[in-house]
Amino acid sequence: MPKLTIITIVYNNVRDIERTIKSITNQTCKSIEYIVIDGASTDGTLEVVNKYQTQVSKIVSEPDKGIYDAMNKGLALATGDYVLFMNSGDEIYDEHTVEDVFDSAPGADIYYGETEMYNDKWENLGRRRHEAPEHFDWTSFKYGMNISHQAIYIRRSIVTPYDLSYKYSSDIDWIIKAAKKASNIVNVHRYVAKYLVGGMSKKKHRESLKERFNIFTKYYGLIPNIFNHLIIAGNLVMYFLKHRRTND
């Protein structure tokens, strides 16, 4: 079983952090290095984290320059063969998930799976609108981010630090860079994460969309990106029409 480094970024989220920690410490796979990067929380978050200090490999609590700066701190401390980000409020899908992921096809550069969405009351919203593709490579994001950050395990030797010039969508750039280096990408065909809807990219939705457009243009070209966004818009309309008919 390879060693997996799981990194949790948190700031003032005392309500949700314990649920995230338990989803990791309860894994049947024990070859896990768990790193928590706290942005100097003042609401009791750190006290909750410290309750699990015997099960958390490394705890850092200090101010940072934003979420991707905090993620880079976690990457700098990571020693695992693979890395996974499970931010505060999110969960690994069930206690067997990590073990099942690595048992699916030993030796891949990237493993990915499906994500289940939850609202602020932790009510199940079902699968993401952008379903995980059957086959994934660095071009797969051209019609939208169809794999969530919490649902992708990446070999640490092919990752780079997050580009801090992006404030809201650097995770997209980070995954594409890694996927370009990967020679073996495996769909594990199961749910691997529970995602709490929200976060900075949702709160700053317009700015996030601008960054995404710029990132996709960098990798896919301006004209293809404009064409792809027309397809995204069409798919979005069809999705909401279908959802509306279902509700009616």
Q: CB-hemisphere CA count at 13 Å for 216?
A: 22
Phi and psi at 93, nearest 5°, equal -60, -50
Please report the domains of the chain, with CATH numbers, ordered by start residue: 4-202 (3.90.550.10)
Span 29-51, pLDDT tens digits: 999 999 999 999 999 999 999 99
Span 144-173, pLDDT tens digits: 888 999 999 999 999 999 999 999 999 999
**pTM of the complete model:** 0.89
Instruction: Quickly tell me which residue has 């086959």 as its tokens.
Output: 135
